[in-house]
């Protein structure tokens, strides 16, 4: 006995159906008809593509520790379209795809961690689309709808199962809508290349990078945001004998290595959604001057024209409009 599964057209049935042929015994064949509404199928680790399900049924697995790696969705006998995107481990949010196209990846062992789904055209006018995911360790989360995010971000928890359902516009949700999406707070991560030491380990959110009391200058920096949605970080360095460099971003190197040219000042700013949600504060420990005040959001911090190297730096994110971490006096000293 063997099984063959495909989607075909069958006389007397409108639209494609999933056909499961059991060749051998018993002799009867099972046919699953596509119903009006939404249908979707999941590519699951160690399993591959499952048979499509529809209208609130579960795609994926629970209790098997297997992640969904890709999804396809479509509307059946509904005017309009459906768009969806996936947040994939090590990749982040992908662009929206639509109407049966693949979201996620296959063959890369990268599970989906969150999804966003929305309707287009007449479907958007007539229906709300609800969806929820079963996330590893968290279990079933709440129902999201109409483009909201569902799942997790920043926790490295895979989506193991998903349900998707159409509801008449303004109708009642299929279940609890709280806690549909869990996201870790955005953090700033930074790393310093120090003279006679090299690259130090990455530190986060206000920790000290560099050294104090050792007379060693920071020569290069790399900065990035973690758990940031649609936002980034840009930064530049004022380097001895070079001056202000151009801004770099998101993990790129500012400054130099192998040239014994210390950084003397920095400027850091956020972009995208991060800029709307946070202020970024930073201060430097400058040789002979010690710790200077906190600068923020693209202001200069450090010294210029004194030939004083930046020996250490602290950087932190603060909710937009909240108080500075400390004094903002004399963050930047310039000798004309």
DSSP codes joined into one string, 154-196: SS---EEEEEEEEEETT---SS--TT-EEEPPPEEEEEEEETT
On whether residue 7 sits in a domain, the answer given is no
Whether the link from the prior residue into 26 is cis, omega within 30° of 0, is yes
Distance between CA atoms of residues 119 and 105, nearest Å:
22
Work out the percent of the chain whose per-residue pLDDT is above 90: 85
**What per-residue confidence (pLDDT) applies to 162?**
99
Q: Round to the nearest angstrom and report the end-to-end CA distance of the chain.
A: 87
- Residue 228, judged by CB atoms within 10 A of its CB (0-12, 13-18, 19+), counts as buried
On whether residue 12 sits in a domain, the answer given is no
Work out the percent of the chain whose per-residue pLDDT is above 70: 90
Number of domains in the chain: 2
**What per-residue confidence (pLDDT) applies to 228?**
76
Last residue of a domain, one of 137, 152, 183: 183
Last residue of a domain, one of 154, 183, 212: 183
- Residue 133, judged by CB atoms within 10 A of its CB (0-12, 13-18, 19+), counts as buried
**What per-residue confidence (pLDDT) applies to 5?**
39
On whether residue 53 sits in a domain, the answer given is yes
How much is the average pLDDT of 104-126? 98
**Is 90 exceeded by the pLDDT of residue 4?**
no
**Is 60 exceeded by the pLDDT of residue 105?**
yes
User: Pick the residue with more confidence: 108 or 2?
Assistant: 108
Q: Tell the residue number behind the tokens 């529809």, with chain if given.
A: 54
Q: Give the pLDDT band of residue 184 (cuts 50, 70, 90).
A: confident
User: Which string of b and e fits 252-289 if b means at least 16 CB within 10 Å?
Assistant: ebbbbeeeebbbbbbbbbbbeebbeebbbbbbbbbbee
| 260 & 139 share domain | no
**Is 90 exceeded by the pLDDT of residue 8?**
no
How much is the average pLDDT of 52-73? 98
The SS3 call for residue 126 is: helix
**Is 50 exceeded by the pLDDT of residue 326?**
yes
Give the range of the structural domain holding residue 269, as residue numbers without chain letter.
187-334
On whether residue 260 sits in a domain, the answer given is yes
Q: Can you give the C-alpha Rg of the chain in angstroms?
A: 27
How much is the average pLDDT of 316-336? 96
**What per-residue confidence (pLDDT) applies to 216?**
98
On whether residue 239 sits in a domain, the answer given is yes
How much is the average pLDDT of 104-116? 98
**Is 90 exceeded by the pLDDT of residue 34?**
no
User: Which tokens in the block code for residue 320?
Assistant: 């937009």
Last residue of a domain, one of 136, 162, 183: 183
pTM metric for this prediction:
0.64
| 261 & 179 share domain | no
**What per-residue confidence (pLDDT) applies to 33?**
65
Q: Give the pLDDT band of residue 36 (cuts 50, 70, 90).
A: confident
Q: What is the pLDDT of residues 139-166, one digit of tens each?
A: 999 999 999 999 999 899 999 999 999 9
| 92 & 153 share domain | yes
**Is 90 exceeded by the pLDDT of residue 28?**
no
Q: What is the pLDDT of residues 295-313, one digit of tens each?
A: 999 999 999 999 999 999 9
**What per-residue confidence (pLDDT) applies to 307?**
97
Q: Give the pLDDT band of residue 35 (cuts 50, 70, 90).
A: confident
H/E element, 13: none
């Amino acid at each position: 006995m063997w099984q063959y599964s495909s989607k075909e057209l069958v006389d007397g049935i409108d639209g494609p159906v999933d056909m499961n042929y059991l060749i051998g015994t018993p002799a009867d064949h099972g046919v699953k008809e596509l119903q009006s509404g939404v249908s979707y199928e999941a590519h699951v680790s160690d399993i591959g593509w499952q048979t499509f399900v529809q209208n609130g049924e579960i795609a994926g697995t629970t209790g098997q520790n297997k992640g969904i790696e890709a999804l396809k969705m479509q509307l059946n006998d509904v005017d309009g379209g459906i768009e969806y995107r996936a947040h994939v481990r090590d990749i982040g949010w992908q662009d929206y795809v639509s109407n049966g196209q693949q979201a996620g990846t296959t063959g890369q062992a990268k599970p989906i961690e969150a999804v966003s789904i929305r309707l287009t055209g007449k479907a958007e006018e007539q229906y709300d689309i609800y969806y929820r995911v079963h996330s590893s360790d968290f279990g079933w989360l709440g129902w999201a709808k109409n483009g909201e995010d569902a799942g997790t971000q920043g926790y490295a928890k895979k989506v193991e199962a998903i349900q998707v359902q159409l509801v008449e516009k303004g109708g009642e949700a299929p279940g609890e809508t709280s806690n549909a999406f869990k996201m870790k707070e955005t953090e700033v991560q930074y790393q310093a290349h120090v003279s006679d030491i090299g690259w130090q380990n990455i530190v986060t959110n206000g920790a000290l990078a560099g050294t104090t009391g050792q007379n060693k200058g920071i020569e290069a920096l790399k900065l990035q945001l973690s758990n940031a949605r649609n936002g980034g970080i840009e930064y530049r360095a004022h380097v001895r004998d070079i001056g202000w460099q151009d801004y770099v971003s998101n993990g790129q190197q500012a400054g130099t290595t192998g040239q014994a040219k210390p950084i003397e000042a920095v400027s850091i700013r956020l972009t995208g959604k991060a800029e709307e949600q946070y202020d970024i504060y930073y201060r430097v420990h400058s040789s002979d001057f010690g710790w200077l005040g906190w600068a923020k959001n693209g202001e200069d911090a450090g010294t210029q024209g004194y030939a004083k190297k930046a020996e250490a730096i602290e950087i932190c994110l603060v909710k937009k409009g909240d108080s500075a971490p400390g004094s903002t006096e004399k963050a930047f000293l310039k000798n004309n």
